[in-house]
Amino acid sequence: MAQSTLDAKPAELSVEKFSDRARAIETEVKSVIVGQDALVRQTLICLIANGHALLEGVPGLGKTMLVKTVADVIDCSFNRIQFTPDLMPADIVGTNILVEEGGTRQFRFQPGPVFANLLLADEINRATPKTQSALLEAMQEQQVSVARDRHKLEPPFFVLATQNPLEMEGTYPLPEAQLDRFLFKLWVPFPSEEDLVEIMERTTGTKTPTAGKAANAAEVVEMQRLARSVPIAPHVTAYAVSVLAATHPDSPRAPELVKSYVRYGGSPRGAQALVLAGKIHALLEGRYNVATDDVRAVALPALRHRVIRNFEGEAEGITSDAIVRAVLDAVPPPSVD
């Protein structure tokens, strides 16, 4: 994608056009992905928020297929990294190589696969923490540093990482600092029997379903700009902050489940995720204002990976989702909404 295309001033994007484009993206993705409507919607929210998504589920549920399909639908440059225990940081961000030109030798930067609009980090928790952390700067700053040079990544830059449940063999827990870089953590549920029948029909026949193009990189950037311009009332922002504060065990708002089973609550990025994802949820519903219901609708994927359970919570099998739901019950929306 030419840089001049992204730098050009975009045409005014209305809420109606935003909704139409978003629906077109969802429709094309669903033409390949069966029965994962909530997962597709939440992945789209991450893309428009200029955030990153972590998808977790057992092997074979279509996590990689979802990412590939999104890349096809938004017509962006796409790279895939298969994370393995022997993967090195330079295999992700790139490295300086010695080349000979005109009789002289000099170092030249060889970009790694992170230089793409959409990056699939497949089975990210199979690599060592050192290699996982190589994505930190790219995810937060949209740039990479090699030696003394910084190299910018072209917008949009979107990391979709997949991981298997940690109890499976050969996996390494992601550091909390890297987990916090993901806007959403998404569960990939096992499909219903009806959906499995449809999956069998699509994947075991002679025809393979394909998705069409519904947007390009410049149009995605345009949608990201509109999302950030959505107004939000002070009481809705205050509600998002109150929800985040209630995830901390030392907060007076914290419910008993948090006080008993949580070691650390969400960081300020959690509140940012609630507000920004809430704006996009409102736009996808055709509204140019944010309600507390929009914040509540995105609370689970925005906070489940930011709530760190203590030993008792893990031993008792208390899930992060149960803790977030307890927080939502304990922090009622303000009456003015």
The tally of domains found in the chain comes to 2
Q: What is the pLDDT of residues 20-51, one digit of tens each?
A: 899 999 999 988 888 888 899 999 999 999 99
For residues 197 and 60, membership in a common domain is answered with yes
Of 325 and 111, more confident: 325
For residues 176 and 194, membership in a common domain is answered with yes
For residues 235 and 216, membership in a common domain is answered with no
Distance CA 126, CA 151 (A): 27
Which tokens sit at 299?
A: 């609370």
What CA–CA distances, in Å, run from 87 to 93, 122, 133, 330? 12, 12, 12, 44
For residues 201 and 286, membership in a common domain is answered with no
**Burial class of residue 205 (count of CB atoms within 10 Å of its CB; 0-12, 13-18, 19+):** exposed
For residues 206 and 255, membership in a common domain is answered with no
- Rank 4-13, 77-86, 155-164, 290-299 by mean pLDDT and report only the highest: 290-299
Which tokens sit at 76?
A: 């962006």
Confidence of residue 336 (pLDDT cuts 50, 70, 90): low
Q: What is the pLDDT of residue 3?
A: 41
Q: Are 98 and 106 in contact (CB under 8 A)?
A: yes
Q: What is the pLDDT of residue 49?
A: 93
For residues 203 and 239, membership in a common domain is answered with no
Q: What is the pLDDT of residue 6?
A: 43
Q: What is the pLDDT of residue 166?
A: 62
For residues 261 and 157, membership in a common domain is answered with no
For residues 135 and 256, membership in a common domain is answered with no
Q: What is the pLDDT of residue 169?
A: 62
User: Per-residue pLDDT averaged across 126-138, rounded?
Assistant: 81
Q: What is the pLDDT of residue 337?
A: 43
User: Per-residue pLDDT averaged across 4-33, rounded?
Assistant: 74
**Residue with the two structure tokens 């907060």:** 251
Q: What is the pLDDT of residue 204?
A: 82
Q: What is the pLDDT of residue 209?
A: 78
For residues 8 and 103, membership in a common domain is answered with yes
For residues 186 and 63, membership in a common domain is answered with yes
What CA–CA distances, in Å, run from 144 to 108, 117, 154, 218, 227? 15, 14, 12, 22, 26
User: Per-residue pLDDT averaged across 322-326, rounded?
Assistant: 95
Quote the pTM value: 0.86
Q: Are 26 and 56 in contact (CB under 8 A)?
A: no
User: Per-residue pLDDT averaged across 51-59, rounded?
Assistant: 86
Phi, psi of 88 (to 5 degrees): -110, 155
Of 204 and 170, more confident: 204
Q: What is the pLDDT of residue 1?
A: 39
Q: What is the pLDDT of residues 254-289, one digit of tens each?
A: 999 999 999 999 999 999 999 999 999 999 998 888
Which tokens sit at 52?
A: 């990153």
Q: What is the pLDDT of residue 11?
A: 44
Q: Are 306 and 281 in contact (CB under 8 A)?
A: no
Which tokens sit at 37?
A: 């409507």
**249, pLDDT greater than 60:** yes
Domain assignment present for residue 190? The answer is: yes
Query: What are the DSSP calls for 203-256, one per residue?
Result: HSSS----PPP---HHHHHHHHHHHHT----HHHHHHHHHHHHTTSTTSTT--H
Q: What is the pLDDT of residue 112?
A: 86
Maximal C-alpha separation, the chain: 75
Q: What is the pLDDT of residue 7?
A: 42
Residue percentage of the chain with pLDDT more than 90: 39
Q: How far apart are the first and last CA of the chain?
A: 43
Domain limits at 277?
230-330
For residues 165 and 88, membership in a common domain is answered with yes
The mean pLDDT value of the chain amounts to 86
Please list the alpha-helical segments (H only) found in 115-212. 129-132, 136-141, 176-179, 193-203
- Least confident range from 7-16, 66-75, 104-113, 187-196: namely 7-16
Q: What is the pLDDT of residues 59-111, one digit of tens each?
A: 777 777 888 888 889 888 889 999 888 888 888 888 878 887 777 888 888 88
